[in-house]
């Protein structure tokens, strides 16, 4: 089976063509600057890459360009779209309605539209991708895989906010969590590496420009750091993470800001970028720290400290820990962040091996000392495989 995997953003579109049975990726790429000037980057074969300027006034032209690139010209990997068996879509917010991946129907799309207030930037683009694929490839099954679904196993005392209860009953204001496909994949890989599927207590740190932590017990999420929106939780590339409502109100009064202007600061001008004064790429901040920039040092220390606090609280929530996992661009590549997070966690049974930690590898690995009673894993995430695999399962059940 070949699954076309689509992740539609407001002005970009990521894609992969994958066989979920063999986990082989035939091609992958991204369309950027949709509605502006349009750039398509296409990777295929043995590390071959194309970069093309393509007119993409809307997402429809972007998807048409991708399908044309997959089936013709230098980047061709299949003869026609007839070889595509199904389309799997990343869907950001499923609210309480969707606790698992689903076949896309008119009813599902309408229900996702009802959830747009919970994800006004993401859900419209996700829906658009689904509608365009149904138009361009009629008859092909489409499957929606929700970022929030994995976290729907959280108990009510973990996902509720201590607001008046009618704010939940009327508006469904609660913690939902995100990066669910990554937390699901990494926690399952950790269970395999532990060779243990029962009585497992795993903390997953998905660290990138967007970051989140989850507590996973016996394969089910019991808590996660992101909330109603992705801005809650850890300090991230440009997001502030946890911040007191009083501080937000004070900033708004001092700067004469509207709520939208304040949220723009919290989402796009804060975090690593806001503290360091550098771009949100942690590599530049780490370089700045090495060169004596104290604001860069502060940003790095804050990032590690925030993660460490969540790890400690989730170890308590799990009544112990079997494995701490690092994934995502920062989690997989920033040895210093892993070192700082794990420093002083010996009492929890988490003892990092500095030699193993500093050894670079693209493979999943254990970086704990041999004497550590709990394991510390670095596990490359594969959210696309989760989307492809869920799509394969749902389509197979249709036959």
Q: Which of 55, 85, 147, 294 is catalytic?
A: 147
Tell me the H-state helices in 35-174: 59-71, 106-114, 123-136, 156-159, 165-171
37 assigned to active site: no
Please tell me the distance from the alpha carbon of residue 207 to that of residue 328, in angstroms, as a whole number: 5
What are the structure tokens assigned to 52, written together?
A: 């093309």
3-state secondary structure of 399: coil
Task: Write down the number of H helices and E strands in the chain.
Answer: 15, 14
d(CA 298, CA 278): 12
Q: What is the rounded CA–CA span in Å between residue 1 and residue 24?
A: 11
Decide: helix, strand or coil at residue 1: coil
Structure tokens, 16:
């992969």
Distance CA 288, CA 40 (A): 32
Distance of CA 23 to the CA centre of its chain: 19
* Angle at 180 (CA atoms; ends 239, 132), nearest 5 degrees: 90
CA distance 123 to 148: 12
- Helix, strand, coil distribution of the chain in percent, nearest 5: 45, 20, 40
Runs of H (alpha helix) within the chain: 59-71, 106-114, 123-136, 156-159, 165-171, 180-194, 245-255, 259-268, 271-276, 282-290, 294-317, 328-333, 335-342, 354-358, 383-398
* Cα dihedral across residues 282, 283, 285, 289: positive or negative: positive
Please list the residues that pair with 221 across neighbouring strands. 216
Which sequence positions are flagged as catalytic? 147
């Amino acid at each position: 089976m070949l699954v076309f995997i689509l992740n539609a953003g407001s002005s970009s579109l990521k894609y992969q063509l994958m066989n979920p049975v063999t986990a082989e990726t035939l091609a992958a790429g991204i369309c950027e600057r949709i509605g502006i000037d349009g750039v398509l980057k296409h990777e295929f074969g043995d590390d071959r890459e194309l970069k093309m300027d393509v007119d993409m006034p809307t997402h429809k032209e972007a998807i048409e360009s991708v399908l044309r690139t997959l089936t013709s010209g230098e980047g061709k990997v299949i003869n026609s779209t007839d070889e595509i068996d199904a389309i799997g879509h990343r869907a950001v917010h499923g609210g309480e309605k969707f606790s698992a991946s689903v076949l896309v129907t008119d009813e599902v799309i309408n229900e996702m539209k009802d959830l747009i207030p919970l994800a006004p930037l993401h859900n419209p683009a996700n829906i658009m991708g689904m509608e365009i694929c149904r138009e361009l490839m009629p008859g092909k099954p489409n499957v929606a895989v929700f970022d929030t679904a994995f976290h729907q196993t959280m108990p009510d005392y973990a996902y509720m906010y201590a607001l008046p209860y009618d704010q939940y009953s009327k508006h469904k204001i609660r913690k939902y969590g995100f990066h669910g496909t990554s937390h699901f994949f990494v926690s399952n890989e950790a269970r395999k590496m532990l060779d243990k599927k029962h009585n497992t207590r795993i903390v997953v740190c998905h660290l990138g420009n967007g970051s989140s932590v989850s507590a996973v017990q016996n394969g089910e999420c019991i808590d996660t750091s992101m909330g109603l929106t992705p801005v809650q939780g850890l300090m991230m590339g440009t997001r502030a993470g946890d911040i007191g409502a009083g501080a937000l109100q004070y900033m708004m009064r001092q700067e004469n800001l509207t709520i939208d202007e304040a949220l723009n600061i919290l989402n796009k001008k804060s975090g690593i970028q806001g503290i360091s004064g550098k771009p949100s790429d942690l590599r530049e901040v780490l370089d700045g720290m090495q060169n004596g920039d104290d604001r860069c040092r502060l940003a790095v220390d804050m990032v590690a400290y925030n993660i460490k606090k969540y790890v400690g609280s989730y170890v308590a929530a799990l009544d112990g820990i079997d494995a701490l996992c690092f994934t995502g661009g920062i989690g997989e590549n920033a040895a210093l962040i892993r070192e700082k997070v794990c420093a002083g966690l010996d009492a929890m049974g988490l003892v990092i091996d500095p030699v193993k930690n500093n050894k670079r590898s693209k493979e999943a690995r254990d970086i704990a000392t041999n004497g550590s009673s709990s394991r510390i894993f670095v596990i490359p995430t594969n959210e696309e495989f989760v989307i492809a695999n869920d799509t394969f399962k749902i389509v197979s059940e249709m036959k």
